[in-house]
Amino acid sequence: MDFGRAAYLRLEELENTVANRARQRIRNAGFRVTPGFELRAQNSYRITTADGNGMQNVLVKLTVRVQAIGRINLRIAGEKGGFIDCNSLGETEQVMLLSCRFTNPSLLTLQAENGFMGTIMALELMLVGDNAHLARRSGDFAADESGIFVGVLQSKNEQLFITRYRLDGTQSATVFTIGQGSLADMCADGAGGFFVVFRDNSSNIWLSHTFADGGNIRMHLGTLPITSIAVTPFADDIGIAFVQDGKVFTCIASVLNNSHTAPVELEGERAESVAFVKNATNPMLLLTRSGRIFARTTDASYSRLGKAQNMTASTSITHTPL
């Protein structure tokens, strides 16, 4: 027996095993989302909780529409982890923030500073390190804050449901079943309840209002082969946008009055998907096509208490290709 050769083979096997295990431990985690979140001094955007063994490298890539110039801070467990100054007023920027400062499970958030205000149109996060792990992954869901509650809309096995959490943590999560479907969006009613617009498996479009006490009413909006849908509070009613055959349509609906306007096409607009900025002062619609995001904003004064005449009446289009 050639003991020298046997020892060499064993050593080679050991080296390969160690190298493979090292490669398995050093890995990355990441996701991409289109939050449509208006970042300003009064709020912050929670990205996710990150974890791993030892030092972790964080890369955040943002697509931001700048409404007021200033600084965006990346905070890690409350501490500054990186920042970027956004100075292109009225334009859409792609910016990057880098950090490698944490070793324990840490909440990653974005915070406005120096007067910055803008819309986070897309966010990509990459975490690289030993056993890198993120609490959140890419996926289709919607969320909004309603009074003292936060609701998360999800679809599982073609069944839509809202999980409602109390912000102060004094109450267990409550689950409300919405109906059958998978294509959906939601917005808050401001009183602990939520509006959900969704397409069921027969292409019927529904607007559902789930009240704070769990009561629910719904309205049929039509039967359409839509591929994307979005909803937002609009004065006393609900604004809805959807994509059909690549064209973008909007309408106004009222569940309480069981009525809705006829869909109006946004002339000249083509999109693959639509989304509203949930916390915008004025309604802002985000359109995605060919991997780029465009913003459509309204110049009209907007109030949750004022009465809307037409969602598209006083709008101007601002195209900001990336």
C-beta of residue 185 within 8 angstroms of C-beta of residue 142: yes
Would residue 114 count as lying in a domain?
yes
Answer yes or no: is 50 within a domain.
Answer: yes
Residues 253 and 283 grouped into a single domain:
yes
**Nearest CA among 171, 153, 132 for reference residue 25:** 132
Do 274 and 227 lie in one domain? The reply is: yes
21 belongs to a structural domain: no
What letter would DSSP give residue 305? T
Residues 300, 195: one domain? Answer: yes
Residue 225 placed within a domain? yes
CATH of the domain at 66: 2.60.120.40
- Are 119 and 264 members of one domain? no
Same domain, 295 and 148: yes
Domain boundary among 110, 134, 158: 134
Residue 115 shares a structural domain with residue 168? no
Same domain, 274 and 312: yes
Interval 51-91: pLDDT, tens:
777 777 788 888 888 989 999 998 888 888 888 898 888 77
The pLDDT assigned to 141 comes to: 67
* Domain range for 312: 142-318
Is residue 202 one of the residues assigned to a domain?
Answer: yes
What pLDDT was estimated at residue 311? 36
Of 118, 134, 150, which closes a domain? 134
Quote the pLDDT of residue 46. Answer: 81
| pLDDT given at position 102 | 65
Q: Cα–Cα distance between 234 and 237 in angstroms, integer?
A: 5
Provide the 3-class DSSP secondary structure of residue 96.
strand
Same domain, 176 and 311: yes
According to the model, what pLDDT value does residue 221 have? 92
- Tell whether 44 is covered by a domain: yes
Predicted confidence at residue 173, as pLDDT, reads 84
Residue the block writes with tokens 């009055």: 257
Q: What is the pLDDT along the chain (322 residues), one digit of tens a residue?
A: 444 444 444 445 544 544 444 444 445 566 677 777 888 887 888 887 787 777 777 888 888 889 899 999 988 888 888 888 988 887 787 788 777 666 677 888 899 999 999 888 888 888 877 777 776 544 456 778 887 888 888 877 778 888 888 877 777 788 898 988 878 898 888 888 899 999 988 889 999 999 988 888 999 999 988 988 999 888 778 889 999 999 999 999 987 788 898 898 988 889 988 888 877 777 788 888 887 778 887 544 333 323 333 333 323 333 333 3
pLDDT at 23 (0 to 100):
42
Number of domains in the chain: 2
Structural domain contains residue 4: no
Buried b / exposed e over 155-183, threshold 16 CB at 10 Å, is beeeebbbebbeeeeeeeeeebebbbbbb
Tell me, what amino acid is at 23? R
Judged on CB neighbours under 10 Å (0-12, 13-18, 19+), 287 is buried
Is 16 part of a structural domain of the chain? Answer: no
189 and 60 part of one domain: no
Answer yes or no: do 213 and 298 share one domain. yes
Both 111 and 156 in one domain: the answer is: no
